[in-house]
Structure 1
């Protein structure tokens, strides 16, 4: 086990010990002094502050951006883009320095974005936001019903109070095919986590930010990114797709894939506020130790926050179109 991996394990163990000690202090007369309860919390915070040092160093002297194909087709809008700030999700942890979120918005001017972007940043530097909430199995659970978000469905607006949450079929991204951005080998593929309800209202967002994101952070990278695929693109570069739809995998670990090949479908698993695509390049397949790598999408560049872009079906390797002021990163 590497030092970086051991640091992340100790970080999670420290928070678990803290929570256990708090519960003991509340329910019984603890056999330890009150101040001792905060020691593991202090250790966890210290570890969190040091965990991103390698990412910060890499961002200070970034390597050249790796050009790959877009992971989607159709019309999408960028959020949490590295074209606007680095680290794009506020943290370097889990290889997210140059990660990007995109939401399907096929009807120009329709829908309305959420007040917060689809990925929220939990306590120790994870990044990707949502909660388990009520089960979303059935129509929004395992894949098989096709791309519910097709036919120009508008993206729902963020609501202050009601509805608190929406089922995933209301979002045009849900079920959209995700494509290999380059030739490569599947290193990891998982799709067993359920797709939960959206978190696109103020009460749901508060629950996410104050409770669920922190719990997922302690549970580990898998709870943050949900169902995900990692591709080895060669030359020490790995591509990661997060929040995949339950049961939608088209590949498995060890498979060789070609650019443009379907991998899975867009979902709402893990730490996510709504169905969207979280994409990133990184230098290691293990999210606990990975450092982000800059990317650029062929024919598009790196769309800035709020910029829409369109990729036609079956034209991977050709230029896409972009609306707004997106810049190549």
Structure 2
């Protein structure tokens, strides 16, 4: 059973996909651990989902995409509903970070050079706008990079699986609109240990398109 403060954790927490429609899997622990190249901030088993169109594609790359930041509104999933992946109580809400431009090509290289500054600024600068949900056994699930002003839940609120948390944004440490999820054994990522996750008993690998329509 999970317990706060770095105590014993259950091997895996099973989640529902926090969306409907088609989303591309990136940085999956099904492909490597640590999934994001670091164990900092309890991210060892974190996973990213990028919303895509019916053909499984994100926004088309143009010459401008390679030279300058793009408005996040160009991307097919910006503003899509993001849903609670687990039943539990909201223990934290942060909804103050701006949604910035998307970075591909040369802008992504420049953005990568500012990674150290965002890390030094702490969890909120990396997670952007986010919601944390605590399950009955103490596991905390964080849903990150939400659209500023879209979060409709509050601390202490009880949630059921599938209730809307907010909308997909591009806040925090994000190069294009997507959703980042991670599970931990406590609400403070700087002190918590990562908890492994699955989705309905499955863990998609990098490049797999999840179609959660009708789920």
Structure 1 unaligned regions, length at least 5: 6-53, 112-154, 316-329
Which structure's residues are more often strand, by fraction? 2
> Which residue matches 1:277?
179
Conserved in 1, the CA contact under 8 Å of 2:65 and 2:104? no
CA deviation profile, 1:79-124 (whole Å, cap 9, x unmatched): 000001000001111111100011111222544xxxxxxxxxxxxx
- Give 1:88's match in structure 2, choosing from 30, 35, 44: 35
Q: Are residues 1:303 and 2:204 paired?
A: yes
Structure 2 unaligned regions, length at least 5: none
Conserved in 1, the CA contact under 8 Å of 2:94 and 2:124? no
How far the C-alpha of 1:218 sits from its partner, in A, is 0.9
> Which residue matches 2:151?
249
- Give 1:262's match in structure 2, choosing from 161, 164, 168: 164
How far the C-alpha of 1:196 sits from its partner, in A, is 0.3
Q: Are residues 1:76 and 2:13 paired?
A: no
Conserved in 2, the CA contact under 8 Å of 1:192 and 1:227? yes
- From the superposition, tell whether residues 93 and 244 of structure 1 become closer, same or farther in structure 2 (CA, over 3 Å): same
Q: Deviating runs (4+, > 2 A) in structure 1? A: 155-163
Q: Which structure has the bigger radius of gyration?
A: 1
Conserved in 2, the CA contact under 8 Å of 1:165 and 1:201? no
Report which structure shows greater RCO (CA 8 Å, sep ≥6).
Answer: 2
Residue 129 of structure 2 aligns to a residue whose secondary structure is coil
- Give 2:96's match in structure 1, choosing from 192, 200, 214: 192
Conserved in 2, the CA contact under 8 Å of 1:189 and 1:253? yes
TM-score normalised by the chain length of structure 1: 0.60
> Which residue matches 1:231?
133
Output aligned runs, 1:42-57, within 5 Å: none
Which structure's residues are more often helix, by fraction? 1
TM-score normalised by the chain length of structure 2: 0.91
Instruction: Name the Cα RMSD after superposition.
Output: 2.1
Output aligned runs, 1:17-56, within 5 Å: none
Residue 241 of structure 1 aligns to a residue whose secondary structure is strand
> Which residue matches 2:109?
206
> Which residue matches 1:99?
46
